[in-house]
Structure 1
Amino acid sequence: MDLQVLRSFQAVAEGLTVTEAAAEARITQPALSRALHRLEEEVGAELLQRVGRVLRPTPAGRVFKEYVDAALDSYDRGRRAVAEVVDPDTGLVSLAFLHTLGTWLVPGLVTGFREEYPGARFELHQHGESGLVQHLLDATADLMITSGDPGHPLITWRRLLVEPLWLAVPTGHRLARHRRVRLAEVADEPFILLKPGYGLRSVTEELCREAGFAPRVAFEGEEVQTLRGLVAAGLGVSLIPSSPDTAATPRFPIRYLEITDVHGARDIGIAWLTGRALPQATRRFIDHALRASANAPDGRW
């Protein structure tokens, strides 16, 4: 069974047309159609069926694809492992990270690592918390950097830093002249929050509970930049992670206030599947991230 045929089957089952999959494989469309037909004969079942102008996996095809995904992933990991034995300094680090960390933490870690290992390559994925865990479980990433320990029995997590959370209010807000406030002071105001399932949403709700109230939700977004934009527009207040770019600008006329009645912060850490044998470059990156965090107690590097 040809690995390229399996890759083409995988691509078609995931939504590519046969013509597109054939172009990726650098063969003709009729040749790929014949190869997929031979694959079905080998497996002993119809794997793909036409729905309109495209092919979709049959029930048998969906079951078979799970094993194809696992086989191809294992093969690709084997090739990576061999390549790193031959030249460990040019290994690939497959990293998924929380979208809010893409403006400061991840670039700093990647830059520092590549200064030590210039030949290292990165495969990056950006997502919310739930999507990051799935990247590890699906083996589409070896590592993730996220907020809080996911608490999954198959995942090992190590803290890198504690990131402060600030109360973001519009510059014209009644509290904007203050530096420090109690979170309870905005108990009656509308909150701009991330959607349920995001770690920052859970942290915000927990901090509000500690302050004695449940946040009144005005809007639910999918990224922190959206929260900032709607706070700047005067539609509510929000708890925003601290990072080097959290400062008032003409585009984001916001004041960031320290909260004093609850501990406004979240843990940021690095995680991997406990039982997976990690490539050498990946293990080196874990060590690099942990050293960087130990040498930067204020969470900045």
Structure 2
Amino acid sequence: MHVEDLRWFAVLGETEHLTAAAAALGTSQPNLSRSLRRVEEAFGVPLFEREHRGLRLNPYGRIVLEAARAGTAAVDSAQLRIGALLDPESGIVRLAFLHSVATSLLPDLLKAYRAVGPSAEFALRQGASTGIVEDLESGDADIGLTAPRPDPERFGWHPLEQQRLALHVPPGHPLATRRRVELAAAADEPFVGLQPGFGFRRISDELCRAAGFVPRLAFEATDLNTIDSLVGAGLGVAVLPSSAIRGSDSGAVAVPLAGVQSRREIGMTWRLRAQLTPAAERFRAFVRSRPVIST
């Protein structure tokens, strides 16, 4: 029994007339009879009462008719959804991204892509770097915008932005007047940072360890703008990629960090062993054609 058999059965069940159903389906009565036989053999019971005026659904047939309507509707819906995914112009791109690019890199990319792919749709998922990797592995996302770079054995990578890191300090802080600052100068300061599990939390912790100290956390937030605001309010200091903080009026002062390691790389990633949909592939190709931004 095939899906088409259920589709034909639904028409026959609604008309309860072999000749009329065959005409509606554009097939012969023998073909329709053979299709009905396959459905009845699959369920193991007769589905119609044969009367001299035609056919009448029996209780088993009414159950199968309900299932046939639901089943064929589900198949039709799946075909439409697959067709949408296969359309590179108007298909859906499932994109996971870091909280820290939500007000900067992400809207810039989407706006630029709209100019060349105005019909494309995006299913967006926001989260930490570990969550983005999980979304890619599960298939809930096609492409991720994240940092740091995930396992190169399993994930492709294309750099998008090199962000200069700075030490954000409250207004009036002794370090606020420096042109550049070594991170070790803030070793005794309370820090405001991201919660564990965020990719940038790992980066900032590694920078502090390289400077010879473990930061004393006054608060752990879930996004960079909140950290910047709390620094501006005097709660502590923070290491931040200043280009990720747009339009901030917190009052926090960004002092560039000295040292060759004081940059954060944001990139586009995808699972190597997964086949991208045409829409996602088109978006990936567009992003890869853009120059790497250095801030």
Normalised by the length of structure 1, the TM-score is 0.68
Task: Mark the CA change 1:235 to 1:260 in structure 2 (over 3 Å): closer, same or farther.
Answer: same
Deviation at 1:90, TM superposition (A): 1.0
State the SS of the aligned residue for 2:218: strand
CA distance in 2: counterparts of 1:138 and 1:286, whole angstroms: 19
Aligned twin of 2:61: none
Match of 2:294 among 288, 295, 298: 298
Aligned twin of 1:258: 256
Match of 2:280 among 277, 282, 289: 282
Deviation at 1:297, TM superposition (A): 3.9
Task: Mark the CA change 1:247 to 1:188 in structure 2 (over 3 Å): closer, same or farther.
Answer: farther
Task: Mark the CA change 1:245 to 1:195 in structure 2 (over 3 Å): closer, same or farther.
Answer: closer
Amino acid aligned to 1:273: R
Q: How does 1:132-211 map to 2 (within 5 A)?
A: 132-151=132-151, 153-211=153-211
Deviation at 1:244, TM superposition (A): 6.2
Query: 2:270 aligned with 1:272, yes or no?
Result: yes
Q: Which has the larger radius of gyration?
A: 2
Deviation at 1:92, TM superposition (A): 1.1
With 199-208 and 146-155 compared, the bigger mean Cα shift is at 146-155
Query: 2:212 aligned with 1:216, yes or no?
Result: no
CA distance in 1: counterparts of 2:135 and 2:260, whole angstroms: 33
CA contact (8 A) 1:211 1:262 kept: no
For residues 23-60 of structure 1, give each alpha carbon's deviation from its aligned partner in whole angstroms, at most 9, with x where no partner exists: xxxxxxxxxxxxxxxxxxxxxxxxxxxxxxxxxxxxxx
- Structure 2 residue ranges without an equivalent (≥5): 1-73
Deviation at 1:221, TM superposition (A): 1.5
Q: How does 1:1-301 map to 2 (within 5 A)?
A: 79-83=80-84, 85=86, 87-151=87-151, 153-243=153-243, 245-246=245-246, 249=249, 252-261=250-259, 263-292=261-290, 294=291, 296-298=292-294
Task: Mark the CA change 1:152 to 1:79 in structure 2 (over 3 Å): closer, same or farther.
Answer: farther
Deviation at 1:233, TM superposition (A): 1.4
Amino acid aligned to 2:130: S
State the SS of the aligned residue for 2:156: strand
Deviation at 1:182, TM superposition (A): 1.1
Deviation at 1:207, TM superposition (A): 0.7
Task: Mark the CA change 1:261 to 1:213 in structure 2 (over 3 Å): closer, same or farther.
Answer: farther
CA contact (8 A) 1:81 1:279 kept: no
With 274-283 and 93-102 compared, the bigger mean Cα shift is at 274-283
CA contact (8 A) 1:207 1:262 kept: no
Aligned twin of 2:62: none
Identity across the alignment (%):
39
Task: Mark the CA change 1:262 to 1:207 in structure 2 (over 3 Å): closer, same or farther.
Answer: farther
State the SS of the aligned residue for 1:108: helix
CA distance in 2: counterparts of 1:259 and 1:281, whole angstroms: 40
